Amino acid sequence: MAAAPHTLYALPHSLYSGKVRSYLRYKGIAFEERVATLREFQRFIIPRTGIKFIPVVQTPDDVVVQDSTETMDLLDARHPARAVMPETPVQKLVALLFELYADEWLLLPAMHYRWSFWHEQKHIDDVLEHFGMLLSPKAPRWLRRKAGAQFCKPFHGALPVLGVTPRTIPALEAWYEEFLDRMNAHFSAHRYLLGDRASVGDFGLMGPLYAHLGRDPYPKALMQRRAPKVYAWVQRMNEVEPAIGDWLPDDAIPDTLLPVLQRMFAEHWPVLADTVAQVARWLDEHPDARRLPRFVGRHRFVLGGVEEERSVFPYPQWMLQRVLDHYASLPANARAAADALLAKVGGLEAMQLQIPRRVARAHHRLVPEGMTP
């Protein structure tokens, strides 16, 4: 008798749902997808997780996991075939860096290109109809649009929280177009980030580059026109039975990724470093806190030479800890190889960042390390 499949609670337009759906397909893990309607949130998602976020995966033995990175960690341990975490030290470092970058920094163009184009009627109608699936995927299109306009308000209002403002939008669009150009050159030579096999970095990228930037009408047209190889990669990442090869030999990192890594350390890393400082300060000021809030203050950041303010999200510190912990664990010879790469991309000093107050994930929430919510 075939094993019962996993259940994926998701939505077609959900950023992190795109990441997990692609991962399940790539791994060949049997799953059934359920549209995460309001009814499903009330019936299953909130009672089992205590939060209102998707995707949620329920395993055949009734383990429920919500966070996309935790989901991949759990399922890779249970289904070791087609592992998505490189075993070699430098490729693993780069894969983790790209997952962090995609999950947390590419969120800015993903949110901008979804919510800043209300004047594009075809684009916004599609977005609203998909948000209306929270009501029911079988509802008439006009009703889904009407309901979607109400459901999407918190997301549309999140742009300034992220630092997406009229001041930063020109720089953000220039950065994203440069990113598309860089990745188009890369995917002209490689099927995935690190060769012929997908890594956690690919699945990190799949969140923003599919659900928002490669599916919503306006940014999809931009991607198809400007970066057709990136769009082809998005389609490849959605294949049900993908061809799977191997990562590049000798722990090699393609030169085509170096400019992306350089900009990652130049612009995203200062935000991460200040996040670490702000999280430590907040925890010192709240010694009895059993969990961290979504924001712990505000800070300044620079994008494309433009300075702006945004909220401080503590969650990226947890993702950053995975990168730094891997780097700190490297033996001397592997550390030397990693340092040689980091020196090329301006990341050697950055990787020495110390975290005074660590955070952890427990019961679907971010908590001070050693604390349960």
Per-10-residue mean pLDDT, the chain, length 373: 80 95 96 96 96 96 97 96 95 98 97 93 91 88 88 84 97 98 98 97 98 96 98 96 93 98 98 98 96 96 97 98 98 97 98 97 94 67
Residue 1 confidence (pLDDT):
37
Question: Is residue 326 within 8 Å of residue 338, measured between CB atoms?
Answer: no
Helix H segments across 41-167?
46-49, 68-78, 89-104, 107-115, 121-131, 141-151, 153-156, 159-162
Distance CA 22, CA 211 (A): 11
Q: Which domains, ranges and CATH numbers included, belong to the chain?
A: 6-78 (3.40.30.10), 92-251 (1.20.1050.10), 255-368 (no CATH)
DSSP string for residues in 6-36: EEEEE-TT-HHHHHHHHHHHHHT--EEEEE-
Quote the pLDDT of residue 372.
Answer: 67
Tell me the chain's radius of gyration from C-alpha atoms. 20
Query: Contact at 8 Å (CB) between 72 and 207?
Result: no
Please give the Cα distance from 353 to 337 (Å, whole number).
19
pLDDT of residue 241: 86
Distance CA(164)–CA(158), nearest Å, equals 9
Would you state the structure tokens that stand for residue 349, as one six-digit string? Answer: 């000093």
How wide is the angle at C-alpha 59 spanned by C-alphas 58 and 61, nearest 5°?
120
Q: What is the dihedral of CA 240, 241, 246, 252, to 10 degrees?
A: -30
Give the chain's largest Cα–Cα span. Answer: 62
Give pLDDT, residue 368.
Answer: 96
Q: Please tell me the predicted confidence (pLDDT) of residue 118.
A: 87
CA distances in angstroms from 263 to 179, 187, 208, 247, 268, listed in the order given: 9, 18, 18, 24, 8
* Cα 218 from chain centroid (whole Å): 20
